[in-house]
Structure 1
Amino acid sequence: MNQNIATWFELPATDLGRAQQFYRSVLNASFKQEDMSGMQLAIFEAEDGAVSGMLVQGEHYQPSATGAVVYFSGGEDLSQPLAEVESAGGKVLMPKTPIHDGECGYFALLLDSEGNRVGLYSPA
């Protein structure tokens, strides 16, 4: 049985609308809105069976630049989504960086519009 080790993620947001706009701009993401137990949720739309997650605004959720890092697909070349980060309200912390001289692809680190440190990965 082939399973992803990661099955779900939650990224805290202090302004859910701003956070959604950031991920729409950088990743071309779309969301499904929900409220649950006093929390506002914006669930990343994904294909059935794909690992996904949500943006969440609630009492116990605080953005962090020092916690765990979630990596998003940067498509074929993460230079394209990286070019959108600052105009979408984020900050590039580490530019496109080769992994093992590019043999294993590339990664970058950024702060999203809420102050969460997240990563991007691409094969080129």
Structure 2
Amino acid sequence: MEKLKDAVVWAEIPVLNFDRAKAFYSRIYDYDMYEQMMGHHRMGFLPMDPDARGVGGAIVQGQGYTPSALGSKVYLNAGNDLSLVLNRVSLAGGKVIQPKTKITDEIGYYAVFEDTEGNHVCLHSMN
């Protein structure tokens, strides 16, 4: 197997109520989410710098997208300190499942929240 630059190239978070989910993610990241139709799927794009050529992701509503607390876990970049994003979760209608927790000095911190659609989503930061 060849060595790959990234293990993940794209992430999609399923949503049932797009407007509610868009408001939630816009609020916890404190930004205006860009949305667009991609075929029959309504997508809202998570914040990232396209010039940095990093990994992106979106919330997605459409056939085949069902929110679940039991599926794959996505770790979203929460910037310098995930506490800033995590502290907005409850105010935006979500629920903190796992508070900010240190992994190791080299790996940083993570937290887990439940979004307004029932997905369990993780946050990561170095501080």
TM-score of the superposition, structure 2-length normalised?
A: 0.86
Letter in 2 for 1:55: I
Match of 1:16 among 15, 18, 33: 18
After TM superposition, which residue ranges in structure 1, 4 or more long, deviate above 3 angstroms?
none
- Of all paired residues, the percent bearing the same amino acid is 37
Distance (Å, rounded) in 1 between the aligned partners of 2:123 and 2:47: 18
Deviations 1:64-87 (A, max 9, x none): 101111111122111111111011
Equivalent position of 1:119 in the other structure: 122
How many residues get paired? Answer: 123
CA contact (8 A) 1:109 1:117 kept: yes
Residue segments in structure 2 that go unaligned for 5+ positions in a row: none
Match of 2:90 among 86, 98, 119: 86
Deviations 1:92-121 (A, max 9, x none): 000011113x45311101111111111011
Distance (Å, rounded) in 2 between the aligned partners of 1:74 and 1:45: 10
CA displacement at 1:3 relative to structure 2: 2.2
Equivalent position of 1:95 in the other structure: 99
**Pairing 1:63–2:67 present:** yes
TM-score of the superposition, structure 1-length normalised?
A: 0.88
Equivalent position of 2:28 in the other structure: 26
**Structure 1 vs Structure 2 CA RMSD:** 1.8
CA contact (8 A) 1:26 1:84 kept: yes
Aligned to 1:96, the other structure's residue is in SS state: strand
